Amino acid sequence: MKNKQTKQSLIAFEERIKDTYSQGEIRGPIHLSKNNEDVLIDIFSRVNSDDWVFTTYRNHSHALLKGIPENMLEEMIMDGHSMHLMSKQHKFVSSSIVAGHIPMALGTALALKRRGAHNKVWTFCGDMAAETGVFHEATKYAINHDLPITFIVEDNGLGVDTPTKQVWGETDTGDLACRFTTEKLAVVPVNGGLARLLDRSPKVLRYNYTRGYKHHGVGVWITFPEEKDKSTQHLDDYHRETNAAMKMLADEPNSLFIGQTVAYPGSPIFKSLDGIPQNQRLELPVIEETQMGMSIGLALEDYLPVSIFPRFDFMISGTNQLVNHLDKMYELSQGQFDPKVIIRTTVGTKRPINPGPQHYQDHTEAFEHMLTNVDVIRVNHASRLVPAYQRALSSNHSSLIVESDKLFYGDEQ
């Protein structure tokens, strides 16, 4: 695709967004990209204007290279839509749910093939997303059904601040993928069996780069103008009380904290586990269904899993294991199994910046309807945090504890 964007203009755009964000003028989270401009320019030189692009929250360069004009993009970012940019006109979709866009991209590729259309789909994701089940399902389906889609893995070695290989071990989706070099679109099969698959049209490309910015934001804490005189009391109370509650759980024999940001920083969860030994923490980002199922399995062997999902919105993909297994195990096994898991999740706040509905939904009532055996406890005030976890600990049942957005800013949401 002919595009007037250059490496310099992509870098300059991100610099401008960084400056505007630093001044407290952007009302949504931003995820800046740097150091992968050459590769993206090369890939997009093969993308036609009527091709579809599905991508992540780290999407500004993709949007510009797909032809979204700078001023239009800037307006969407200023309005807080950076993490979930979409443009029908430009056939551009992105999502702030990790790997959430990948099956949609697959479906669009299937539609194009069935229709006999000439255009195709390009879908981008990070290395942590490339370890998920949906990535593997989608790539296998696309390869075996010869769908008009290319998957591109942008490998910066990290998911937020968690080194991907620390979670998954050394083998990565490089086994599935071919290596992309900026000189030419090269297929470098990692093992012979896959080379045969990769010779066919759907391809998985993978390239390495060093992330030029922090995961999100600009690397320093921004105080937004209207926040300047606000007290931090709520936040201080939240940190103190969640830490006291988690320490109480950590004292239980066999308790194990699993989930995203339990062992690496990246959300307030990390701070709440201050002082808890590393060997009681197991980092598991972005595989929420597997995490929920693993929690049940651990409990079957008498561990006490404290299964943590930093956002209720992310926990949704663990719903199958929660509703169909944890909640029903007692009934299905005729009273033989009643695994006990303490699930902890948080409703995202809209302040100081609004992350959009993929990060702030409160599904408490829906889960109250869906669950019959698991207790659902919503906590609205810091003074109720320790009692809520005490109740979960002394109960014979599993519990889902929802830390409400009120905990961060009181009723001022």
Ligand X SMILES: Cc1ncc(C[n+]2csc(CCOP(=O)(O)OP(=O)(O)O)c2C)c(N)n1
Output 154 or 327, the one with its CB closest to ligand X. 154
* Shortest Cβ 215–ligand X spacing (Å): 6
H or E element: which one contains 353? Answer: none
* Shortest Cβ 230–ligand X spacing (Å): 26
Output 303 or 312, the one with its CB closest to ligand X. 312
Residues within the interface to ligand X (CB under 6 A): 56, 58, 96-98, 125-129, 154, 156, 158-160, 215, 260, 285-286, 288, 314, 317
The candidate with the shortest Cα–Cα distance to 341, out of 393, 280, 267, 273, is 393
* Shortest Cβ 266–ligand X spacing (Å): 7
H or E element: which one contains 165? Answer: helix 164-168
Distance between CA atoms of 43 and 45, rounded to whole angstroms? 5
* Shortest Cβ 48–ligand X spacing (Å): 25
* Shortest Cβ 358–ligand X spacing (Å): 7
Asked if 400 contacts 377 with a C-beta cutoff of 8 angstroms, the reply is: yes
CA 304 to each of CA 123, 126, 233, 387, 396: distance values in angstroms, whole numbers, following the listed order: 39, 32, 32, 18, 12
Structure tokens at 16: 């401008």
Structure tokens at 188: 């470098």
Asked if 55 contacts 94 with a C-beta cutoff of 8 angstroms, the reply is: yes
Does residue 253 have a cis peptide bond before it, meaning omega lies within 30 degrees of 0?
A: no
Output 92 or 312, the one with its CB closest to ligand X. 312
Distance between CA atoms of 68 and 90, rounded to whole angstroms? 7
Output 206 or 340, the one with its CB closest to ligand X. 206
Structure tokens at 42: 């090369």
* Shortest Cβ 275–ligand X spacing (Å): 24
Output 309 or 388, the one with its CB closest to ligand X. 309
Q: What are phi and psi of 235, to 5 degrees?
A: -65, -40
Output 41 or 250, the one with its CB closest to ligand X. 41
Which residue lies nearest ligand X, judged by its C-beta? 126
What contacts 26, CB < 8 A, 6 or more positions away?
17, 20, 77, 78, 80, 82, 353
* Shortest Cβ 12–ligand X spacing (Å): 21
* Shortest Cβ 334–ligand X spacing (Å): 34
Distance between CA atoms of 43 and 51, rounded to whole angstroms? 13
DSSP alpha helices (H): ranges in 178-226?
192-198
Output 260 or 345, the one with its CB closest to ligand X. 260
* Shortest Cβ 180–ligand X spacing (Å): 16
Output 13 or 57, the one with its CB closest to ligand X. 57
* Shortest Cβ 62–ligand X spacing (Å): 11
The candidate with the shortest Cα–Cα distance to 267, out of 148, 171, 403, 396, is 403
Eight-class DSSP state of 204: E
* Shortest Cβ 77–ligand X spacing (Å): 17
The candidate with the shortest Cα–Cα distance to 217, out of 14, 73, 388, is 14
**Cα radius of gyration (the chain):** 22
Residue type, 138: A
Structure tokens at 253: 């024999």
Output 282 or 393, the one with its CB closest to ligand X. 282
Longest alpha-carbon distance in the chain: 66
Output 31 or 234, the one with its CB closest to ligand X. 31
Output 242 or 345, the one with its CB closest to ligand X. 345
